[in-house]
Chain A
């Protein structure tokens, strides 16, 4: 008898959980867009394999940004510079290969190391100089954008200008074609290519990353510390956790994830561009918040963030299916963010109210 009761409450727990309402939201969104697109375009233009593959294709870059953002937000911080760090990474790879003939692995390694360095700088500003996280990362963002313009210039050119760098065929030949091949593998390789369900390689990277981070968060000691620091930094200190150390690691991680996003951006286009990732700054934040990462820190998980990511991407795709202009999509992403915030604030208040009544 007891086991039946337990099972019943497990089901009830699930339906009350955030994951459930998120999945519900996702399903709702899909339904709305399918119907809308049907009405507008007279046919199934949203719920198709093509849409699905587009979503999957465009998911990876914002996905990594969301990953870093979510992890950081659980600890109560925010990083507005991650998009710039990613763009910098992409540009660095292009520049180092194009101008200095770096091999592909050296370019990627250096890009990631520099990204982590930026993350550490953010952490220094927040921890040692007590900057507000958003101000620190916002200021760093402009600095990094400037450095991005700097490295995009061809040192050998007579009058170097900030530019978009595309890996030229000469360079590729010079390096025996391998850098491009590897980068193309990262960026463009698709399993079952050409078929209806082609799966890009980088999405596998993304899913693997989410799983790994999810495990770290749930199952490792470090993950527990992240939750503790995010939930109550003072109490965390009084049980022996070092909030500063956690903060450093998470800022570095956010930058690292952004770096990976940069690597993938570059690999997809074999270009470094100064406007890369600009639109994605808030996608990461929105996805994380939609996914139940509370802005105050201390709750939420990778699973929720992933679904939040799906919701955000499906939204963009849905807007395309109903032929909305990309600018309107940007506008409505802002609305989506506001909705995400309201959900967050409302659920916080509900939880506290429930608790007070229970006491």
Chain B
């Protein structure tokens, strides 16, 4: 099967991305300079994509294994709030007591605990993952909002916050490639390799595609599930911290941004099967990510959309795009099913005419 045929969908999405990018660049030209194709704009876009990209990886892995975690955003929120609070602890001399690396490890431990709880609920108690995680979602967001009384915890640690500001490479004197995005892309790349080229990665597909066959092949489904939950929660923390570094705070605004949900949408858009298994790696998901983010972000640069009255469109589009992507998937599945029935009918007729 030729490479192009296999990657047809991804190439289409990539094309769409290029088209949207081009349109935005052209349409935003003011005074002979494109406002979109400029350092600050691209930088902003890439910053936005960093957190979403990392969280997309965690969600995609879960989806491929036939599972899901809808509480990811709330978990991350709890994580970053803990992080911010830890950073505020001062020692007797009035200086910051905890280096942010240590704080990170402590928060990661929390995420692992949460993941283990989810694994217990879904594997031992046999709750359906989506229901269990919807329930735990309110627990985590409740605790988060209570802890901050609905407000914000500022983060001032220079060494941490700088990560959120640094970018390299320039277009016309303005740097546009944030370090965070590089980290994010690196993570996506590593996971993409892992999924395709390691035994464990292939196991994820086995579990998602046919759990019975996976078990018969000797794979410990509970172990795989637990690892993926832990993976998702820790990645969620990292994504959340990326967001915090940029905004210099931990706040419930994070929930409104809901990066894990848009990450999940991007993955599904890129072909990650919602029902588990499937054949795509993270390549399609990554293209889905940049397409989705570019499209919604670039809307800000269309002259007619600059007025605030078009904010609503951005909110609507997320859901709309997901629906359209899933409809397209569904109709192609229906078509495939019909073709299979037709083929089977032909085979039966051929066999009967021989009998």
Instruction: List, in ascending order, chain A residues with CB within 8 A of B334's CB.
Output: 130
Q: Give the shortest distance, in Å, between B37 (CB) and chain A (any CB).
A: 27
Q: Are B326 and A329 in contact (CB under 8 A)?
A: no
Q: Which of B307, B315, B326 contacts A146 (CB 8 A)?
A: B315
Tell whether B169 is near chain A: CB-to-CB under 8 Å: no
Q: Kindly identify, within residues 140 to 174 of chain A, every residue whose CB is under 8 Å from any CB belonging to chain B.
A: 140-150, 153, 159-162
Q: Are B312 and A149 in contact (CB under 8 A)?
A: yes
Q: Give the shortest distance, in Å, between A286 (CB) and chain B (any CB).
A: 9
Residue of A nearest to B126 (CB): A345
Q: Give the shortest distance, in Å, between B323 (CB) and chain A (any CB).
A: 5
Q: Are B127 and A345 in contact (CB under 8 A)?
A: yes
Residue of A nearest to B144 (CB): A327
A159 to B308, CA, bound (A): 7
Residue of A nearest to B136 (CB): A334
Q: Which of A130, A139, A330, A332 contacts B319 (CB 8 A)?
A: A139
Q: Are A338 and B307 in contact (CB under 8 A)?
A: no
Q: Are B126 and A334 in contact (CB under 8 A)?
A: no
Q: Are B308 and A161 in contact (CB under 8 A)?
A: yes
Q: Are B135 and A139 in contact (CB under 8 A)?
A: no
Q: Which of B146, B307, B308, B333 contacts A325 (CB 8 A)?
A: B146
Q: Give the shortest distance, in Å, between A148 (CB) and chain B (any CB).
A: 8
A138 to B322, CA, bound (A): 10
Q: Are A330 and B145 in contact (CB under 8 A)?
A: yes
Instruction: List, in ascending order, chain A residues with CB within 8 A of B147's CB.
Output: 327
Tell whether A9 is near chain B: CB-to-CB under 8 Å: no
Instruction: List, in ascending order, chain B residues with CB within 8 A of A334's CB.
Output: 135-140, 142
Q: Are B138 and A282 in contact (CB under 8 A)?
A: yes
Q: Which of B135, B308, B309, B327 contacts A337 (CB 8 A)?
A: B135
Q: Give the shortest distance, in Å, between A175 (CB) and chain B (any CB).
A: 26
Instruction: List, in ascending order, chain B residues with CB within 8 A of A131's CB.
Output: 326, 330
Given contacts A141-B319, A282-B134, A328-B142, contact A129 B330 (CB under 8 A): yes
Given contacts A295-B131, A338-B136, contact A331 B312 (CB under 8 A): no
Q: Are A159 and B309 in contact (CB under 8 A)?
A: yes
Q: Give the shortest distance, in Å, between A6 (CB) and chain B (any CB).
A: 39
Q: Are B138 and A153 in contact (CB under 8 A)?
A: no
A338 to B307, CA, bound (A): 44
Instruction: List, in ascending order, chain B residues with CB within 8 A of A145's CB.
Output: 315-316, 319
Chain A proximity mask over B306-347: 1 for CB below 8 Å, otherwise 0: 011101111111111011001100110110000000000000
A128 to B126, CA, bound (A): 30
A333 to B136, CA, bound (A): 9
Tell whether A342 is near chain B: CB-to-CB under 8 Å: yes
A271 to B150, CA, bound (A): 23
Residues of B within 8 A of A (CB): 121, 125-128, 130-132, 134-147, 149-150, 274, 307-309, 311-320, 322-323, 326-327, 330-331, 333-334
A-B contact pairs, 30 of them (CB 8 A): A129-B330, A130-B330, A130-B333, A130-B334, A135-B274, A138-B319, A146-B314, A146-B316, A146-B320, A149-B311, A159-B309, A160-B307, A160-B309, A162-B308, A162-B311, A162-B312, A326-B146, A327-B143, A327-B144, A328-B143, A330-B145, A331-B139, A331-B140, A332-B142, A333-B138, A333-B142, A334-B137, A337-B134, A345-B126, A345-B127
Residues of A within 8 A of B (CB): 125, 129-132, 134-136, 138-150, 153, 159-162, 282, 295, 325-335, 337-338, 341-342, 345
Additional 6 contacts, C-beta under 8 A, given A146-B315, A146-B316, A332-B139: A139-B326, A146-B317, A153-B312, A328-B142, A329-B142, A337-B134
